[in-house]
Amino acid sequence: MAAAFSRLYSLSRLLILMLTLSFLPASCRLASGQVVTNSKLRQPDKFRQLSELLPTPNDYRTASGAPGHRYWQQQANYDIDVSLDDRTQQLTGRETITYTNHSPDSLGYLWLQLDGNMRRPQSGRTLSTPAPALTGEVSFRSFDGLLTAQTFDGQMQIQSVTSAETGAALPYSIVRTSMRIDLPQPLRPGQSTRFTVAWRSSIPNARVLPGRMGYEFFEKDGNYLYEMAQWFPRMCAYTDYAGWQHKEYLGQGEFTLEFGDYVVRITVPDDHVVASTGVLQNPVEVLSAEQQQRLQQARSAKDPVFIVTPDEARQNQSAGSEQQKTWIFKADNVRDFAFASSRKFIWDAVQHSVGGNPVMAMSYYPVEGEPLWSRYSTRAIVHTLNVYSKYTFNYPYPVAISVNGPVGGMEYPMICFNGPRPEPDGTYSSRTKYGLITVIIHEVGHNYFPMIVNSDERQWMWMDEGLNTFLQYLAEVEWEETYPAQRGEPKDIVNYMTSTDQVPIMTNCESLLQVGPNAYSKPATALNILRETVLGRELFDFAFREYSQRWKFRRPEPADFFRSMEDASGVDLDWFFHGWFYTTDHVDIAITGVQQHE
């Protein structure tokens, strides 16, 4: 009887505890369910330390927020041949990957990303995309996109996977947007393996199926403009904190990749101009003598120089060649590779020194982008490199490119795709002008976060979008005092912070309710307040620069950022990071009455 009574008493206490927890607001509970209260005052403890939430420091990631003495990351080098078919809008490729295992683990298989599989009719992305609201009129473009998404098969069709050493076929399995390659024997720590993958895929019409890549067709001259990204099988990241990062790609969580060296040979129609990650290796073979001379002039010019002039671009787009040529690019220590190709491209460039590092700032755009693009694009690149380098580290790559095409705004190492164009008559509004400058600052800025400070956006979108938006705000106000910045000031997120449609910033990227405010505006505003009010500019800038330089070409987690900012500033910021990043709390102060006392 005593034992039964004891069990009943314990169950009743547990039931009371569960009911109590269910009525507490989420901000009063830890992720584990432990109530965060001040037992003395019986109120939520807003100043509780973050150590209860952050992972335990170790030899890979220290308590100070710096990489540990045993920190490691994998390396994947790529040698790629790819051909673009301008008649069928298809891509055919063959790559040899050299994968080096720097981890302390033996790996029996390898995982690769096949991002194009997101566009299969039965993919997780297609099945989880909500239908458009049918309460009002539906545009033909929206309806066309809805139908095309159900029929277009953009998956990567794997043709073979073989050992680069023996030529033997390697067994593989495709699981949604990933591919597992089974190794003949485990890859031990310190060892490398080489294997070859051949594939082909169809390129989507980016105007019908918007996304990270695709083509644009110009009816008036019958030409195509291609922006190619996430176009080849890429190694999944293998990390100390998560093992293989092979979450299904649904389109929102963009990047988690390994650094490596690339040599890429891109075969396109003879009259196409190619913009790419990396440095062009064979200008003599693909450029005219005049274009080579202009490229050399751009290295010492004060203002951008046309490498391919508007007249040459018009001539190219009015002809159309059946011949082909191959552009060769080399890129060292990058985590991805993208390119753009079209016979419509105008190309301008100027060399700029960033902390003594010579950088070719370049822009590629069709005639439809003029005169807006030649006035602002390359100059916005130079401005971005100057501002971001001041607050983080000197831009380390030899190239920085902005391309105009159908992708509205997307970033890759050394190259980004940006959308705004003037009206057909060449005029443009102030909104279009600042829209172009803004998107270029943001997308070029992504070279710093996450292309160099290599955060995991498949998990935490704010670590690159939020930090980058904060620096974008600083670059905008340095462009001109009256710049119409829309993210960074506290007044711009009041409506969001008082809404009920929120989740904490520390939420997986696929579970966000309002992506723009959550991943961009709110973290950018938090850092602005931290800089202007809590720490002050001098202390904040020192700490932010320290974090950036600690994790340059490495892979930080949120705890590394929080700990680095506290470590370098010398200020306890747990209360700040907990409130801003782990809860949806907001300052709620109201004047309830005013009385005059005689």
Packing angle of the helix pair 522-529, 462-479 (nearest 10 deg) = 60
Across 186-223, b (16+ Cβ under 10 Å) vs e yields ebeeeeebebbbbbbbbbbbbebbebbbbbbeeeeeeb
In 3-state terms, what secondary structure has residue 8?
helix
Q: Are 264 and 334 in contact (CB under 8 A)?
A: no
Q: How far apart are CA 290 and CA 293, in angstroms?
A: 5
8-state DSSP, 510? G
User: What is the full per-residue pLDDT of the chain (598 aa) written as tens digits?
Assistant: 444 444 444 444 433 333 333 333 443 444 433 445 555 556 677 788 898 899 999 999 999 999 999 999 999 999 999 999 999 999 999 999 999 999 999 999 999 999 988 877 676 666 666 666 666 666 655 555 556 666 677 789 999 999 999 999 999 999 999 999 999 999 999 999 999 999 999 999 999 888 889 999 999 999 999 999 999 999 999 999 999 999 888 878 888 899 999 999 999 999 999 999 999 999 999 999 999 999 999 999 999 999 999 999 999 998 777 899 999 999 999 999 999 999 999 999 999 999 999 999 999 999 999 999 999 999 999 999 999 999 999 999 999 999 999 998 999 999 999 999 999 999 999 999 999 999 999 999 999 999 999 999 999 999 999 999 999 999 999 999 999 999 999 999 999 998 988 999 999 998 898 999 999 999 999 999 999 999 999 999 999 999 999 999 999 999 999 999 999 999 999 999 999 999 998 776 778 889 888 7
Do residues 407 and 439 lie in contact, with contact meaning Cβ atoms separated by under 8 Å? no
Residue with tokens 């974008």: 472
Cα–Cα distance measured from residue 82 to residue 196, given in angstroms and rounded to the nearest whole number: 13
Q: Are 471 and 442 in contact (CB under 8 A)?
A: no
Reported as half-sphere exposure (CB side, CA atoms, 13 A), residue 129 has a value of 21
DSSP state of 32: T
| Predicted model pTM | 0.90
